[in-house]
Amino acid sequence: MPSDNFGAYHIRKWFLHVEETLANETGQLPDGAPVRKFVISAAIHNPYANRFSADLGDIVDGSEELGREFGRRAREAAGTAGVQSYGKAAMVGIGGEYEHGNAFLTQTFADPVRQAIGGGKSWVPSTGKVAGPGATVDIPLAHKDALYVRSHYDTVSVSYGDAPRADEVVVAFAFSSRGRLHARLGGLDVADVRGDDGLH
């Protein structure tokens, strides 16, 4: 059992994935600023690898502190571009269960991240999978304050060359500075967001 080095967790590695889109798929230049997406991730030892437990408290109980660190790193990575949309994911190594990944992604973890980026009224889109090193996860994105902002439905894909190991979970939180380039499928305009109910 590896020694704890972050509260009750053992974190082997942090990752920062950044991409900036300067034109859309047909070469159209931005209708405003480029799209800046980034993903904060951590490869964390899974205390429940290779065994069943009805109680997943060893993961959930420490996730608020983990969320604060994700939030700190997100605020730093966002810089002046800011954050308009977000999403989260977990990749569980093959010694674990999908449920172990979900245990890292509860509201206890997400709320400190919301606070760090200036709030977030909408639920955080989420996905997960059981996989090995080098697998790709496609993280869904949506506007952080209003799910009806259709222009911000997007995806960012990430992979990790050496994670997750069989006894690890990779926890990831993704962010974007704006919606898709040249989004033109209607829905609530970002300028009209009220941000009071997570939808409008």
DSSP 104-171: HTSHHHHHHHHHHTT---SPPPEEEEE--TT-EEEEEEEESSBTT-GGG-EEEEEE-TT---TTEEEE
Instruction: Find out whether 166 and 12 touch, Cβ atoms under 8 Å.
Output: no
Nearest to 176 by CA among 14, 15, 13, 21: 21
State the CB neighbour count (10 A cutoff) for residue 63.
Answer: 24
Cα gap 193→182, rounded to integer Å: 19
Domains in the chain (CATH in brackets) are 11-192 (3.30.1330.110)
The per-residue pLDDT string of the chain (200 residues; one tens digit each, 9 = 90 and over) reads: 788 888 889 999 999 999 999 999 999 999 999 999 999 999 999 999 999 999 999 999 999 999 999 999 999 999 999 999 999 999 999 999 999 999 999 999 999 999 999 999 999 999 999 999 999 999 999 999 999 999 999 999 999 999 999 999 999 999 999 999 999 999 999 998 998 899 99
- What is the reported pTM? 0.95
pLDDT digits (tens, 9 = 90+) for 24-76: 999 999 999 999 999 999 999 999 999 999 999 999 999 999 999 999 999 99
